[in-house]
Amino acid sequence: MKAAVLERPGELVIKDREMAVCGDDEILVKVEACNICKTDLKCFSVGQRDLIYPRVLGHEIAGIIVQKGNRAMGYHVGQRVHVHPGIICGKCDYCTDKKDNLCDHVQIMGFNYDGGFQEYLRIPAEGVKGRILNVISNEDLNFEEISFIEPLACCVNIQDSLEMNPSSVMVIIGGGRMGALNLLLAKASGIKRVLLIEENEKRCKSGMKLGFDQVFSGKTEDIIEQIKAATGGMGADVVIPCCPGPGALDLALKILRKNGQLGYFSGVINEDDVRPEINLIHYKEISVKGSYGCSCAHSRKAKALLECGKIDVKPLISHRVRLDELALGMKFVKNSDGYSTIVKF
Ligand SMILES: [Zn+2]
Ligand SMILES: [Zn+2]
């Protein structure tokens, strides 16, 4: 079977590996689609502190069960599944509190275990027991769409932690894949006005098409004034930065109304000279909610939103690549070319 193996940062090799076999408590999934995430790109291009090489990346996985050990209960061969990437301990305080994405002992498919950029994926016994496979019952949902469950579940995590009602004005900074998914989720939850701040002209246009109510770009001072004007002088109720620059965080604090809520969804990684004015959290009594990945429950909710048709991710499918074109796919993601690139098997 073919696997895209990351030997070290920057060195991705397509290898013919021995066919995976599954043990008595395990399940074998034939991967059908795996969405490329910015996290994959980061591991590929600069590496990651805790990543052990060689590793097969890919944690946004859709596939079909092709083999099952005789002690692996609750699943059948032939079922179409989404693979929730987090294998949790099930015992720690976070797990019992349904915050299992924060589990002290979580092991992630595509990071601690080999992931979805290979033809067949072995689901370890702990994963089967932890029910990381979400069976898809809606036949109309294709594998590419199913591969959006994980990133959508990350948006469910942040938005479920915010207090909103239909008249809350939400601003999303950054109109890439995660910004777009946050928009679709907000609209599905009944939020009437979702505004976008985005520099890239192409993304402004596609953002309007996708359903953002207004799009703003330009100089920071101008954007602050425009958002004020668009919200009757108040500022936004909720801001979710979906890009890693500290400038976005600073802008978020400046356009929020007093008592507004910041969804701290995207970690800040780019070092530049902007120092977010964090005292605004104090002066404006801003609430900050962090989110990191998604729990099993978030995945199930995201799956349900796609299955019932409340969210349609088809407009977000921009590029499909074969497994041996994964490096090219990474390039699309790096260049912010389209919304998403999916490895299709
Ligand atoms: Zn991801
Ligand atoms: Zn745990």
Chain segment 316-337, per-residue pLDDT in tens: 999 999 999 999 999 999 999 9
Q: Which amino acid, 261?
A: Q
Task: Please report, for residues 29, 128, 289, 318, 327, the alpha-carbon distance to residue 119 in angstroms, rounded to integers and kept in the order given.
Answer: 9, 19, 38, 22, 16
Rounded distance between C-alpha atoms, residue 57 and residue 50, angstroms: 13
Task: Measure 147 CA to ligand 1 centroid, in angstroms.
Answer: 10
For residue range 232-256, what is the model confidence (pLDDT) as tens digits?
A: 999 999 999 999 888 999 999 999 9
Q: What is the pLDDT of residue 272?
A: 67
- Strand-pairing partners, residue 13, are 5
Phi, psi angle pair for 192, to nearest 5°: -80, -40
Q: Is the pLDDT of residue 77 over 70?
A: yes
Task: Measure 44 CA to ligand 1 centroid, in angstroms.
Answer: 13
Q: Which amino acid, 92?
A: C
Q: Is the pLDDT of residue 270 over 70?
A: no
How many CB atoms neighbour CB 39 within 10 A?
A: 16
Q: What is the pLDDT of residue 258?
A: 98
Q: What is the pLDDT of residue 166?
A: 98
Task: Measure 149 CA to ligand 1 centroid, in angstroms.
Answer: 10
Task: Measure 114 CA to ligand 1 centroid, in angstroms.
Answer: 14
For residue range 148-174, what is the model confidence (pLDDT) as tens digits?
A: 999 999 999 999 999 999 999 999 999
Task: Please give the domain boundaries of the chain with CATH numbers for all domains.
Answer: 2-151+294-344 (3.90.180.10), 162-290 (3.40.50.720)
Task: Return the closest-CA partner of residue 324 out of 300, 343, 304, 296.
Answer: 343
Longest pairwise C-alpha distance within the chain: 64
Residue with tokens 């994980």: 150
Task: Measure 136 CA to ligand 2 centroid, in angstroms.
Answer: 25
Residue range 253-276: average pLDDT? 87
The structure tokens listed for 37 are: 């995430």
Task: Measure 293 CA to ligand 2 centroid, in angstroms.
Answer: 14
Rounded distance between C-alpha atoms, residue 205 and residue 227, angstroms: 18
Per DSSP, the three-state class of 114 is: coil
Strand residue runs (E) in the chain: 2-8, 11-16, 27-35, 61-68, 80-83, 86-87, 107-108, 120-123, 133-135, 169-173, 193-197, 214-216, 236-241, 256-264, 287-290, 317-321, 340-344
Q: Which ligand is nearest to the CA of 98?
A: 2
Q: What is the pLDDT of residue 11?
A: 94
Task: Please report, for residues 243, 245, 281, the alpha-carbon distance to residue 270 in angstroms, rounded to integers and kept in the order given.
Answer: 10, 5, 21
Task: Give me Rg for the CA atoms of the chain.
Answer: 20
Q: What angle do CA 254, 256, 257 make, to 5 degrees?
A: 120
Q: Which ligand is nearest to the CA of 102?
A: 2
Task: Measure 84 CA to ligand 2 centroid, in angstroms.
Answer: 15
Omega before residue 54 within 30° of 0, cis? yes
Q: Which ligand is nearest to the CA of 94?
A: 2
